[in-house]
Structure formats: C-alpha cells, structure tokens
C-alpha cells in the first residue's frame, strides 16, 4: 500500500493559499507545512479563512506548481463554536497547561465535532485509497475517527504543533476521550518533544493502552497507534540566506538608522497569553531599573500581531500588554530615547529575517510553547561573524534542542530574566560564537526537509504497522 509514490494530502485549519489578498499567516504551522510540501507537491486541504452564510458544497481549488490547495468556507456558528469556542477557548488553554482559562460549553464541543465531520465529508470526495493523509494540529483531533467510520483505510498521521500536557490536565477536558482519545484512530501521532510524547503515552495508559515491547506503539481499543517525537524545524539554509539579503534592504537600513547605534533586543510573538509577554515586559522593566548604565544604549522592539481578538482572554491580554508597554515608556523614556517599541503589526518573513540579524538579543520567553520557530529563525538569521544571543524559556519545545547554545530562562523568575538579559547584552564575542555554532549545528542537522521526511517515512513504514491498524 502506502509506498514512496503515494500522494500526500495535508489537512490543517489554516491553509497558506498563495494569494496576496488573503490574511497573512501568523503561525508556525503554515510556514512548516508549506516548506515541507513545496518540493514534494500534494494536496493541502482546510479552511479558507472566510465565513459565509452558505458555504459551497465544493472546495475552492487553486493549483500552483506541484501543489493543489483546496479550501472550504465556514458558517458563522461553525467559526464561533469550532474555532473561537472549542479549539481556542478550550483545547488551546488546556494543552498549554492553562486549565484555569478554559471555558467549556457543550455547544462549542458540538460545533467542533460537526465541523470535523464536515471536513471528513469533503475529504471523502477528494482522497483515493492510496493517498497518505497528514493531519495537523488541535483543530482536527477526531478527523481520523470520522474518516475510519466512513470506511477509509488510508494511512493517516497526525502531528500536534502545540504541547501535550500530563494526563491529569487532559482529564480536565470534559469528554476528553472523544477528542484526545480519538487520536488512537491515527496510525502515527507525532509530537514536538519526547516529553509531549511521554505525556500522551501516560494518558493512553489511563485508557487501558498496552505499550509494545519496543515502546514505539500502543494497542488501545483494538487499534495500534505509533507515537513519535518530531521536533518541527525551519528551512535553515534558506532562512540564513534570506536574512543576509534582507540586511541590505532599504527597510532594514532605515530600521537600523532609527536605532542610532543602540543595541537591539527583539521579541516576536502573536499576542497570546501562552507567549509570556507580560512577564517579559516586567523583566525588562526590572532590567531598566537596575541597569542604569544601559539607559539610552538599548532598544527593545516587541513585534506582536494581534491574534484571535474575538476570544475574551485575548482581548484582555491586549489591554494589559498595551498598558504595561505605556507604563514602561512613561517611566524610562526621555525626549531622545524610547526604551520599548511595541508594534501590533505583521511583517513579511524577509523583514523579520533582517530584524533578527540586526538584533543583539532575542527574548523568546513563552510560559508554554509547542516548539517556537521564532527561536530557530532568530539563530539561523545571525551573522556568523557577530552573532546575537538567544534568551529562551525552559518551557518552549525549542529548549529541548537549543539548550547548549541559548541562555535558558524561567519566565516566572523575573529577576533571573533581567539578569540573563544583562548577561546576553554583555556577552563577549567568543562565547556568542561558540553558542551560535552549537545551535546552528542542531538546526542544520534537523531542517524542515528532514522533519517532513522523517515523519512521512515513519508513517509509510509498512513493517511497523501490521494489519491491526485497520478500523476496529
């Protein structure tokens, strides 16, 4: 069955259809899938990003080079219940260890199930028996089950881009068995880190799962599912090239002039409570309070596109961060120096690459993050002759790979972060170079191509998946 020549069908909520008129893709998922598929080709299916009262029965199809994009619209109540409701007010906080922020509503769960069944109906019309399906992220957890119920025996893999918390937290989700438990209908479930994988394995234990002798697969509910850690990656060489070119652009030249020789600290995050932006601003304020010698010599640029603005927890975060940013500037600015530039705009990847290369320090300090590709892109963008320093939260998936080169910080320890910031700003070149090289060698060994190949090889490996993976 699923040999090398099989067609790949990727499914995710967002699809990066190449259309300049469409909303910019803020998240790492779209970047990774795009990079993974662009040479291999295939079909990428998902939501169009559009809401209409009467969605068509057929997806809108766009073909470019070897890629076919097929997208469907959602109705307003689908969007509210599936996307804003269950995906982003329930699954997102719980999987990011924030059970306190989860707002469960039965109607949202029903909407999530309805939209996933609708995705399955559309896919049923698209896929052939030999296609290999690769489903992405928390919006689509039960999709394989619904396809299996429709009789599809295809090889189906799932990759979770966000964290998988320990079983206790998963169990806080009402009806978790129908959603997280449904991951057992996939042939392969991939996670960002070994820790995420272990958490899920322990959850399967609570559901009567039996681990195979080699520990790579689980038998649960009459099915066999393989588990693996596949830390998502970037196009390392291409991003480094992009940053080199971008640093000669007018945009970056003007930006650098605006710094007037001050050392640049950069942060780039969607406006999301998981990113730890308030803690970071607080730590920066403590740094400014203690490090008077750095006043007027440093500029912190925090680029934060607004995100999921209809979800109340995000709107609240927006107000809080704006107020905090204003307070910091009110306290420390003078007429010719603004210590913090807080920018709610989306920039192109080239512009960001140039900004990263111009920076002396990046602060990537989420409270919890599946991977965090900003950390990886920042490293790849550096000038090897004069690299910047990465301050990285111990709670980002990226810390599992980059701990030999980054300054690892605890985002809850504000004084510790303030001290690490000073250390980063004052770090001598030999140490910076050494740390940069250690991180680059990780990013070169595991780039996005290898990530996709590893996942697909594991998914299509016939030896590892006996007939038990057929529907129960």
- Token pair for 224: 């066999």
Q: Minimum distance from CB of 93 to ligand G6P (Å)?
A: 13
Asked if 228 is part of the footprint of ligand G6P (rule: CB under 6 A), the reply reads: no
Span interacting with ligand G6P, options 24-32, 111-119, 120-128, 182-190, rule CB under 6 A: 24-32
CA dihedral in degrees (141, 118, 122, 41; nearest 10)?
A: -30
Q: Minimum distance from CB of 27 to ligand G6P (Å)?
A: 2
Asked if 29 is part of the footprint of ligand G6P (rule: CB under 6 A), the reply reads: yes
Span interacting with ligand G6P, options 20-28, 294-302, 391-399, 409-417, rule CB under 6 A: 20-28
Q: Minimum distance from CB of 83 to ligand G6P (Å)?
A: 7
Instruction: State yes or no: is 161 an active-site residue.
Output: yes
Residues numbered 103-142 forming contacts with ligand G6P, rule: CB under 6 A: 137
- Token pair for 118: 């609708």
Span interacting with ligand G6P, options 23-31, 248-256, 328-336, 381-389, rule CB under 6 A: 23-31
Asked if 26 is part of the footprint of ligand G6P (rule: CB under 6 A), the reply reads: yes
Quick one: which of 69, 1, 39, 15 has its CA closest to 452?
39
- The smaller minimum CB distance to ligand G6P, of residues 234 and 298, is found at 234
- The smaller minimum CB distance to ligand G6P, of residues 329 and 346, is found at 346
Span interacting with ligand G6P, options 21-29, 208-216, 288-296, 311-319, rule CB under 6 A: 21-29
- The smaller minimum CB distance to ligand G6P, of residues 28 and 167, is found at 28
Report how far residue 17's alpha carbon sits from residue 49's, in angstroms, rounded to the nearest whole number.
10
Report how far residue 312's alpha carbon sits from residue 188's, in angstroms, rounded to the nearest whole number.
35
- Token pair for 326: 């204003």
- The smaller minimum CB distance to ligand G6P, of residues 29 and 380, is found at 29
Which position among 161, 187, 196, 269 bears the catalytic label?
A: 161
Q: Minimum distance from CB of 273 to ligand G6P (Å)?
A: 13
Crossing angle between the packed helical segments 414-425 and 277-290, to the nearest 10 degrees: 60
Residues numbered 155-174 forming contacts with ligand G6P, rule: CB under 6 A: 161-162
Asked if 78 is part of the footprint of ligand G6P (rule: CB under 6 A), the reply reads: no
Give how many residues touch ligand G6P by CB under 6 A. 10
Q: Minimum distance from CB of 53 to ligand G6P (Å)?
A: 22
Choosing from 116, 192, 217, 307, the residue that interacts with ligand G6P (CB under 6 A) is: 307
Q: What is the number of the residue whose Cβ is closest to ligand G6P?
A: 27
Please count the other Cβ atoms lying within 10 Å of the Cβ belonging to residue 209: 21
Q: Minimum distance from CB of 88 to ligand G6P (Å)?
A: 6
Q: Minimum distance from CB of 135 to ligand G6P (Å)?
A: 12
Asked if 28 is part of the footprint of ligand G6P (rule: CB under 6 A), the reply reads: yes
Instruction: State yes or no: is 369 an active-site residue.
Output: yes
Quick one: which of 270, 261, 45, 22 has its CA closest to 135?
45
- The smaller minimum CB distance to ligand G6P, of residues 162 and 440, is found at 162
* HEC assignment per residue over the chain: CCCCCCCEEEEEEECCCCCCCCCCCCCHHHHHHHHHHCCCCEEEEEEEEEECCCCCCCCEEEEECCEEEEEEEECHHHHHHHHHHHHHHHHHHHHCCCHHHCCCCHHHHHHHHHHHHHHHHHHHHHCCCCCEEEEECHHHCCHHHHHHHCCCCCEEEEECCCCCCCHHHHCCCCCHHHHCHHHHHCCEEEECCHHHHHHHHHHHHHCCCEECCCCCEEEECCEEEEEEECCCCCCHHHHHHHHHHHCCCHHHHHHHHHHCCCEEEEEECCCCHHHCHHHHHHHHHHHHHHCHHHCCCEEEEEECCCCCCCCHHHHHHHHHHHHHHHHHHHHHCECCECCEEEECCCCCHHHHHHHHHHCCEEEECCCCECCCHHHHHHHHHCCCCCCCEEEEECCECCHHHHCCCCEEECCCCHHHHHHHHHHHHCCCHHHHHHHHHHHHHHHHHCCHHHHHHHHHHHHCCCCCCCHHHCCC
- The smaller minimum CB distance to ligand G6P, of residues 49 and 166, is found at 49
Asked if 304 is part of the footprint of ligand G6P (rule: CB under 6 A), the reply reads: no
Which position among 108, 269, 369, 447 bears the catalytic label?
A: 369
Choosing from 7, 27, 207, 343, the residue that interacts with ligand G6P (CB under 6 A) is: 27
Span interacting with ligand G6P, options 26-34, 319-327, 426-434, 442-450, rule CB under 6 A: 26-34
Q: Minimum distance from CB of 219 to ligand G6P (Å)?
A: 29
Span interacting with ligand G6P, options 25-33, 143-151, 339-347, 392-400, rule CB under 6 A: 25-33
Residues numbered 316-375 forming contacts with ligand G6P, rule: CB under 6 A: none
Asked if 308 is part of the footprint of ligand G6P (rule: CB under 6 A), the reply reads: yes
Q: Minimum distance from CB of 424 to ligand G6P (Å)?
A: 26
Report how far residue 252's alpha carbon sits from residue 265's, in angstroms, rounded to the nearest whole number.
15
Contacts with ligand G6P, residue ranges (CB under 6 A): 14, 26-29, 137, 161-162, 307-308
Catalytic residues: 161, 369
């Amino acid at each position: 069955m699923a040999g090398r020549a099989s067609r790949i069908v990727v499914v995710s909520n967002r699809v990066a259809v190449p259309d300049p008129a469409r909303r910019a893709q803020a998240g790492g998922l779209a970047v990774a899938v795009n990079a993974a598929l662009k040479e291999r080709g295939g079909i990428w299916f998902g939501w169009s990003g559009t809401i209409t009262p009467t969605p068509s029965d057929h997806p809108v199809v766009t073909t470019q080079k070897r890629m076919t994009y097929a997208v469907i619209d959602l109705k307003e109540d689908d969007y509210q219940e599936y996307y804003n409701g269950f995906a982003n007010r329930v699954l997102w906080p719980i999987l990011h260890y924030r059970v306190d922020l989860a707002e469960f509503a039965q109607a949202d769960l029903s909407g999530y199930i309805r939209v996933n069944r609708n995705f399955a109906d559309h896919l049923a019309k698209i896929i052939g028996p030999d296609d290999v399906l690769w489903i992405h992220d928390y919006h689509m957890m039960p999709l394989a089950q619904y396809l299996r119920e429709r009789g599809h025996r295809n090889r189906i893999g799932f990759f979770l881009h966000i964290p998988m918390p320990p079983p206790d937290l998963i169990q806080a989700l009402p009806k978790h068995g129908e959603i997280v438990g449904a991951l057992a209908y996939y042939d392969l479930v991939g996670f960002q880190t070994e820790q995420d994988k272990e958490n899920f394995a322990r959850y399967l234990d609570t559901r009567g799962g039996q681990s195979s002798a080699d520990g790579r697969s689980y038998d649960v509910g009459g099915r066999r599912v393989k588990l693996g850690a596949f830390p998502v990656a970037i196009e390392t060489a291409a991003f480094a090239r992009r940053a080199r070119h971008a640093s000669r652009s007018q945009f970056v030249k003007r930006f650098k002039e605006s710094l007037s020789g001050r050392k640049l600290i950069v942060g780039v995050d969607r406006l999301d409570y998981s990113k730890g932006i308030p803690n970071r601003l607080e730590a920066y304020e403590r740094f400014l309070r203690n490090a008077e010698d750095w006043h007027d010599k440093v500029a912190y640029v925090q680029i934060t596109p607004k995100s999921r603005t209809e979800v109340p927890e995000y709107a609240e975060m927006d107000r809080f961060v704006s107020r905090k940013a204003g307070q910091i500037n009110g306290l420390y600015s003078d007429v010719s120096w603004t210590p913090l530039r807080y920018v709610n705009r989306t920039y192109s990847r080239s512009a960001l690459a140039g900004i990263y290369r111009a920076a002396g320090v990046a602060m990537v300090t989420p409270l919890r993050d599946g991977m965090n590709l900003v950390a990886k892109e920042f490293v790849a963008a550096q000038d090897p002759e004069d690299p910047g320093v990465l301050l990285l939260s111990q709670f980002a998936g990226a810390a599992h790979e980059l701990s030999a080169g980054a300054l690892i910080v605890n985002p809850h320890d504000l004084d510790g972060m303030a001290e690490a910031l000073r250390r980063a700003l004052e770090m001598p070149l030999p140490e910076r170079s050494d740390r940069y090289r250690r991180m680059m060698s990780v990013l070169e060994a595991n780039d996005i191509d290898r990530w996709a190949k590893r996942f697909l090889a594991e998914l299509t490996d016939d030896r590892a998946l006996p007939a038990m993976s057929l529907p129960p």
